[in-house]
Amino acid sequence: MLVIDVACSDPGCEEEEFQVWTEDLDEAEGVACACGHSVVALRVAEYRPELPIRLTRAVARERRPIAA
């Protein structure tokens, strides 16, 4: 998942900056601000949730036999 911080190209816009979440950079090309102006990309980052790793570790702990 990509997280793109964008800013409206209209300096007078109230929205100013917002984030676009997408799987494909090509989909972000058609994004426009709510005011109708185009947006400019400020930062692009990849988001990888850690949840599956944490669940795997928790399951591994639960399966260990308890010492008597």
What is the C-alpha to C-alpha distance for residues 3 and 44, in angstroms, rounded to an integer? 6
- Is the per-residue pLDDT at 41 higher than 60? yes
Residues 6+ apart with CB under 8 A from 51: none
**Domain residue limits, the chain:** 2-63
Q: Is 26 helix (H, G, I), strand (E, B) or coil?
A: helix
CB atoms within 10 A of CB 8: 21
25 Rama sector, left if φ>0, alpha if ψ -120 to 50, beta otherwise = alpha
5-28 per-position pLDDT tens digit: 999 999 888 778 899 999 888 888
